[in-house]
Amino acid sequence: MPDTSSLFSDYVALDAQYGNSSRGLPAQVDPRPIRTVICFKVMDVSVAIPLEEIVELIEVPHCTRLPKVKAWVQGVANVRGKLVPVIDLANFLGGRILTPPSQQRVVLLNINGFCVGLKVDAVVGMRHFTIDTYDVDATSDLESIRPYVVGAFKDGKQAWLVLRPGAVARDEQFMNVAL
C-alpha cells in the first residue's frame, strides 16, 4: 500500500509549481453583457436596431406602387410569397435617401405579427456592444427621429442611435398611410 502522506506532499509540490501560473476557468471571468445590433445609415445618421427585432436584411426589391398613399410608402413587394409594405424611412422622417440604389437595403421587421420593410441608405453591419457603452440619454440632431430613439451605443466618438420599431409602429402618422 502506497504511503498517502508522500502522495499528498507530491501533490502539494506540483500544485505549488504549476498552480500559480495557470489561468482561471472562463466561468471565473466576470462576463459583461453584450447587445447585438444591426447598424445602418439613414440620412447620414448612424442608427441601430437590436438583432432580435429584425427578421432579415434584403436588397431593395421591386415594389408595386399603391394608389392614394403617402409618398414615403414605397409600395408593396413580394418577399418569398408574402406581400410586404416597404417604407422609405428617410422620406418618412422628412428627408431623402442620400446613397445610390446599389447601396440601399431593406430591413425587414416583424411588428406585432406584421412584416414591414424599412428602406435605408446602407447597412453597415452587425455590431456587438457591451451594455456599459449604452447611453439612455443620447439623442439626435435630427428632430424627426427623436420620438423613436431610446438611447445610443457609443463606440469611441461614434454613437449608434437605438431605434425601436415598436415606437415607429405606434405612431399614428406611420399607421395612417392614406392620403
Residue 12 CB-half CA count within 13 A: 6
Q: What is the pLDDT of residue 28?
A: 59
Q: Which residues are registered as beta bridge partners of 163? A: 149
Q: What is the pLDDT of residue 7?
A: 75
Least confident of 19-28, 45-54, 140-149: 19-28
pTM of the model: 0.80
Backbone angles phi, psi at 81, to 5 degrees: 85, 0
CATH for 34-175, options being 2.40.50.180, 2.70.70.10, 2.30.110.10, 3.40.50.20? 2.40.50.180
Residue 4 has pLDDT above 70, yes or no: no
Taking only the tens place, the pLDDT of each residue in 126-171 is 999 999 999 998 888 888 999 999 999 998 889 999 999 889 888 9
Least confident of 12-16, 19-23, 119-123: 19-23
Q: What is the pLDDT of residue 131?
A: 92
Q: In what order do the strands lie in the sheet with 114-120?
A: 54-59, 105-111, 114-120, 82-88, 73-79
CB atoms within 10 A of CB 11: 10
Please classify residue 151 by burial: count the beta carbons closer than 10 Å to its beta carbon, then call 0-12 exposed, 13-18 middle and 19+ buried.
middle
Q: How do beta strands 54-59 and 105-111 pair?
A: antiparallel
* Confidence tier at 2 by pLDDT (50, 70, 90): low
Domain ranges of the chain: 34-175
Residue 19 has pLDDT above 80, yes or no: no
- Measured CA to CA, the distance from residue 106 to residue 59 in angstroms comes to 6
CB 130 within 8 A of CB 80: no
Q: What is the pLDDT of residue 169?
A: 86
Helical residues (DSSP H) of 47-164, grouped into ranges? 89-92
CB 112 within 8 A of CB 128: no
CB 150 within 8 A of CB 164: yes
* Confidence tier at 29 by pLDDT (50, 70, 90): low
Taking only the tens place, the pLDDT of each residue in 98-117 is 999 999 999 999 887 889 99
Backbone angles phi, psi at 86, to 5 degrees: -115, 125
